[in-house]
């Protein structure tokens, strides 16, 4: 998925070969859908958001200047489309207080997670990520699962890289608190069964 290959198809589309857009849709559909699902947390809405995102991408393809990676540009459109959808649906977010949080919990979380099986760990993280508000789930997913840099995340979310770093830190704190609670309840269940 090199930048050059994306530009090749973008140029074909801009020259009137609309069928070339199917290549870009096929290339990025899973990424867009999974990000939408993380934010809107509903399969049907995520499908609708993904479809809306591709319509917006197609309609504004001539505005893509190549200043950033095409995937970063697409992420930004998907992110904004998700935000529009969330505003429209006026969903209540599941806010988690971090008053009781202390910085060493992040290390505790990392140590506890390393003890779990890899597959089990990924599922545990995914379940706990889903408990976070959409924006924080999205941010952590971009950084840890999609390997986006703070600069790229800043472009996607329309914030500075420093602001992305602060939001990432706060999101990690909340995730650590959720994981701590989750792991404590798992330990209790284990000992109650034994």
Domains of the chain with CATH codes = 3-89 (1.10.1740.10), 104-193 (1.10.10.10)
Average pLDDT value for residue range 24-53: 91
The pLDDT assigned to 60 comes to 93
| pLDDT at residue 99 tops 50 | no
| pLDDT at residue 95 tops 70 | no
Average pLDDT value for residue range 90-108: 50
The number of beta carbons lying within 10 Å of the beta carbon of residue 161 is 13
pLDDT exceeding 90 applies to what percent of the chain? 30
Assess contact for 160 and 85: CB atoms under 8 A: no
The pLDDT assigned to 140 comes to 86
Question: What is the C-alpha separation between 38 and 82, in angstroms, rounded?
Answer: 10
Looking at 6-20, 46-60, 135-149, 161-175, which range is the least confident one?
A: 135-149
| pLDDT at residue 72 tops 80 | yes
Average pLDDT value for residue range 159-167: 92
Decide which of 95 and 51 is more confident: 51
Helix (H, G, I), strand (E, B) or coil at 88: helix
| pLDDT at residue 66 tops 50 | yes
The pLDDT assigned to 88 comes to 80
> Could you report the per-residue pLDDT of 105-154, keeping only the tens digit for each?
555 555 555 555 566 667 777 788 888 888 888 888 888 878 888 999 99
The pLDDT assigned to 15 comes to 93
Sorted by sequence, the CB contacts under 8 Å of residue 178 that are 6+ apart come out as 96, 128, 131, 132
């Amino acid at each position: 998925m090199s930048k050059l290959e994306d530009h090749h198809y973008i140029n074909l589309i801009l020259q009137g070969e609309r069928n070339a857009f199917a290549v870009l849709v096929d290339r990025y559909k899973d990424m867009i859908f999974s990000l939408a699902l993380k934010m809107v947390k509903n399969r049907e809405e995520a499908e609708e958001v993904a479809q809306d995102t591709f319509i917006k991408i197609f309609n504004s393809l001539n505005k893509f200047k190549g200043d950033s990676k095409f995937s970063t540009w697409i992420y930004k459109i998907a992110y904004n489309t998700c935000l529009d959808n969330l505003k429209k649906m006026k969903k209540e977010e599941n806010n988690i207080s971090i008053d009781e949080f202390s910085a060493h919990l992040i290390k505790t979380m990392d140590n506890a997670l390393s003890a779990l099986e890899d597959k089990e760990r990924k599922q545990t993280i995914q379940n706990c990520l889903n408990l976070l508000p959409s924006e924080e789930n999205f941010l952590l997913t971009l950084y840890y699962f999609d390997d986006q840099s703070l600069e790229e995340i800043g472009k996607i979310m329309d914030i500075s890289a420093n602001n992305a770093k602060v939001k990432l830190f706060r999101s990690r704190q909340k995730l650590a608190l959720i994981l701590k609670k989750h792991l404590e309840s798992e330990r209790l269940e284990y000992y109650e069964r034994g």
